[in-house]
Amino acid sequence: MHIHRRSARLQAGLGRPLSAARTPALRTLLIVGAVAALSALSVPASVSAAPRHGAGSATIAGAAEAAQHRFGVPASLLEAICYFEGHLSDHGGAPSSAGGYGCMDLARNSHLDTLDQAAKLLGVPAVSVRSSMQLNIAAAAAVLRADAISLSPAHRAPATLGGWYGAIAKYSGAGHSIAVMYAKEIYRILREGLTATAPTGEVVRIAPTAVTPDTATAAHVGTTSALPANCTSNPGTDYPSAYNCIVPASYAGVTYDTADRPSDLPLLGITIHDTEETLDNTIATFWNEGNAVSIHYVVDTDGTVYQCLHEKDVAFQNGNFWYNQRTIGIEHVGVDATGYQWYNATQYLGSAKLVAYLLTKYHIPLDHEHVMSHGTTPAPTLGTSPNHVDPGPYWLWDYYLGLINQQNVPFSTGPAASGVIRLNPASGEQPSGSGGTETTANFNFFYLYTQPSTASPLLRAKGSSGDITDVTNNVETMISYDTLAQQPDMAGTGDTMYQIWYGATLSPSSWSATGTKAWIAVPPGTAEQGFGTVVTLSGKSGKKASVYGKPGGTSSNVIGSTPSGSAYLSPWSVTVSGTTWYAINYNHRQAWVPNSEVTSTRTA
């Protein structure tokens, strides 16, 4: 969807993993938040009124020990949160995009004000909590103690390390399911231990600790925001954790088609979208029958899931009815061109849990060719080209697919043909900002050049100059392509140039694409083995092969062509009326070719 962005919503996220391995792994969850009643609580008389200023108190470890002495919160727990939230950094006093400060990410924004509440508990100015590592850690300890007391039936602070579970969950400020995952990740750090170096050079060590969290203390943790209009917490959703915003049955035939998927139509994939508008406006869009559009799910920036249509029904969601019939659509509150200001680790995690549920339920493979972008979905005809481009260049596919995998969904692989690569850059491994937010460094499109040099012209773009969401001369990460050749960048950047066949829109007056040899500039360590079947194509009598916008298409569905002998990576195939059709990674988008145009296949 594309309408004007009216307001930003709270963003939050995940920290870096305990290991820097390239393999996708569950990243530690980090969410700005605190209790609404915190300002009404004060430091009890039995707790020291001032921090201990002993040797080493200016260090993270010293500050954590001082906060433990003052508030009774275990130092190892505070160190784990400091690592988890801020990577052991105060970020030079600069706030996160959610207005969070310090390694404990105490925040002040339109959604909450942990920073001022914590400062009030300490009896110091908020600016001191922002600028002092020691006071930042002490302030978080004050919040945690207040949280723990508010959750305790006896109104006492926990006596054991495991007893802080509920307070940690509440510190997240999230809904119940995300809050308890936050707490689980903190306790994972405590169990596994940690050795990490802060930007100051200090080495922080947490010894592995055998601890059993008291999960019952988080039983009543979970903030519930006011629901959008037409949404309720009533049962009736397919996904148990979703709020019910399902549109009326009277909308059938107007905004969606009734069906009985997967009994009457197979479910083959998931389509990822962004909304280009706020949550409330998004729900209102789908409840406006005159818009003639629909979606199955919406995921807000805080990871909350809303269901707008039953999975069995066909949503009018991605500009290609063949895909509409066979995919489930998920909108994410955000804006594609400025996705780094919207997408965050909490939203990724909430979406990943939903997608893991769907992939498992419908036996859909976990890879980027089945968990698609709207931007990788082809238009069905030239007359309907171009299709949309969301979720855009800031959606982190390696990170996202890794989170889905961590919900016990195995990765799909398939044939590993020689010369097939996919791009998995460091910029896509996790949000690069503080507090699990993104920065512009998370840009994840890779551009095509006309020669094996980044000094050569780029492949011609069809979109407007400067439009970073244009997808006509670039590729997304985690999608496989067959390479024809490789060599060092002649411009001397240290990148490797890989040549591929790419469906380029060469004509300024037409959206028809033409198979063209072009070069991708790939930084060191970014290319990895891709998966799928390499198909070599030819039209009748050695002429160009036609490329289609859907399988089983007719001449009206031809969206391009490619020379005889050109080869593309096919991630999967379907059979339509007895004919095998191969999906190919044609350019930025998928496209389709019939078996009659395939002269050979290669899987090794």
- Taking the whole predicted model, whether its pTM rises above 0.75 is answered as no
Residues 6+ away with beta carbon under 8 Å from 84: 15, 28, 29, 30, 185, 186, 189
Would you place residue 173 in the very low, low, confident or very high pLDDT band (cuts 50, 70, 90)? confident
- Kindly tell me if the per-residue pLDDT of 47 is higher than 80: no
Q: How far is Cα 87 from Cα 28, in angstroms, rounded to an integer?
A: 11
What is the pLDDT, as a whole number, of residue 14? 31
Q: Are strands 269-274 and 327-332 parallel, antiparallel or unpaired?
A: parallel
**8 Å CB contact between 342 and 287:** no
Would you place residue 57 in the very low, low, confident or very high pLDDT band (cuts 50, 70, 90)? low
Long-range contacts of 190-196 (CB under 8 A, 24+ apart): 190/76, 190/77, 190/80, 190/161, 192/18, 194/18, 194/79, 194/80, 194/83, 196/83, 196/88
Would you place residue 100 in the very low, low, confident or very high pLDDT band (cuts 50, 70, 90)? confident
Kindly state the DSSP code that residue 252 receives in the 8-state scheme.
Answer: B
Express each pLDDT in 114-140 by its tens digit: 788 888 889 899 999 998 999 999 999
What is the pLDDT, as a whole number, of residue 286? 98
Work out the angle at residue 173's Cα, subtended by the Cα atoms of residues 406 and 39, and round it to the nearest 5 degrees: 160
Q: How far is Cα 370 from Cα 191, in angstroms, rounded to an integer?
A: 36
Q: How far is Cα 499 from Cα 502, in angstroms, rounded to an integer?
A: 9
State how far Cα 562 lies from the chain centre. 34
Q: How far is Cα 164 from Cα 477, in angstroms, rounded to an integer?
A: 40
Q: How far is Cα 480 from Cα 370, in angstroms, rounded to an integer?
A: 12
Express each pLDDT in 327-367 by its tens digit: 999 999 999 999 999 999 889 999 999 999 999 999 999 99
Region label for 216, one of left (φ > 0), alpha (ψ between -120 and 50) or beta (otherwise): alpha
Report percent pLDDT > 70 for the chain. 89
Place of tokens 């997408």: 343
Q: How many Cβ atoms are within 10 Å of 382's Cβ, its own excluded? A: 17
Q: How far is Cα 167 from Cα 216, in angstroms, rounded to an integer?
A: 11
Distance between start and end Cα atoms, the chain: 40
Would you place residue 52 in the very low, low, confident or very high pLDDT band (cuts 50, 70, 90)? very low
Omega within 30 of 0 (cis) for the link into 386: yes
Express each pLDDT in 226-247 by its tens digit: 789 999 987 899 999 999 999 9
Segment 475-491 mean pLDDT = 98
Q: How many Cβ atoms are within 10 Å of 320's Cβ, its own excluded? A: 24
- Kindly tell me if the per-residue pLDDT of 527 is higher than 60: yes
Segment 281-310 mean pLDDT = 96
What is the pLDDT, as a whole number, of residue 1? 53
Alpha-carbon distance values, 385 to 319, 320, 448, 463 (Å): 9, 10, 21, 12
Q: Label each residue of 42-63 as H, E or C.
A: CCCCCCCCCCCCCCCCCCHHHH
What is the pLDDT, as a whole number, of residue 20? 25
The larger pLDDT score, comparing residue 9 to residue 147, is at 147
Would you place residue 266 in the very low, low, confident or very high pLDDT band (cuts 50, 70, 90)? very high
Q: Label each residue of 150-175 as H, E or C.
A: HHCCCCCCCCCHHHHHHHHHHHCCCC
Q: How far is Cα 295 from Cα 307, in angstroms, rounded to an integer?
A: 8
What letters, b where the CB count within 10 A reaches 16 and e where it falls short, cover 145-158? Answer: bbbbbbbeeeeebb
What is the pLDDT, as a whole number, of residue 88? 92
Q: How far is Cα 474 from Cα 451, in angstroms, rounded to an integer?
A: 14
The larger pLDDT score, comparing residue 38 to residue 55, is at 55
Alpha-carbon distance values, 464 to 319, 443, 460 (Å): 21, 18, 11
**Which residues pair with residue 327 across a beta bridge?**
269
Residues 6+ away with beta carbon under 8 Å from 249: none
What letters, b where the CB count within 10 A reaches 16 and e where it falls short, cover 508-533? Answer: eeebbbbbbebbbbbbeebbeebbbb
Q: How far is Cα 119 from Cα 405, in angstroms, rounded to an integer?
A: 40
Q: How far is Cα 59 from Cα 82, in angstroms, rounded to an integer?
A: 12
- Structural domains in the chain, CATH included, are 13-218 (1.10.530)
- Kindly tell me if the per-residue pLDDT of 397 is higher than 80: yes
- Kindly tell me if the per-residue pLDDT of 416 is higher than 90: yes
Would you place residue 92 in the very low, low, confident or very high pLDDT band (cuts 50, 70, 90)? confident
Express each pLDDT in 21-35 by its tens digit: 222 222 233 333 322
Which of 326, 276, 407, 204 has its CA nearest to residue 592? Answer: 326
Express each pLDDT in 198-224 by its tens digit: 999 999 999 999 999 999 999 988 755
Which of 21, 32, 187, 195 has its CA nearest to residue 102? Answer: 32
Mean pLDDT, rounded, of the chain: 88
Write out the E strands in 333-476.
Answer: 371-373, 420-423, 445-449, 474-476
Which of 372, 272, 275 has its CA nearest to residue 330? Answer: 272
What is the pLDDT, as a whole number, of residue 463? 87
Work out the angle at residue 425's Cα, subtended by the Cα atoms of residues 419 and 426, and round it to the nearest 5 degrees: 145
**8 Å CB contact between 366 and 357:** no
Q: How far is Cα 515 from Cα 45, in angstroms, rounded to an integer?
A: 76
Which of 63, 38, 45 has its CA nearest to residue 138? Answer: 63
Which of 339, 371, 374 has its CA nearest to residue 357? Answer: 371
Q: How far is Cα 387 from Cα 461, in angstroms, rounded to an integer?
A: 15
- Kindly tell me if the per-residue pLDDT of 12 is higher than 60: no
Q: How far is Cα 8 from Cα 52, in angstroms, rounded to an integer?
A: 40
Segment 154-159 mean pLDDT = 90
Segment 375-388 mean pLDDT = 97
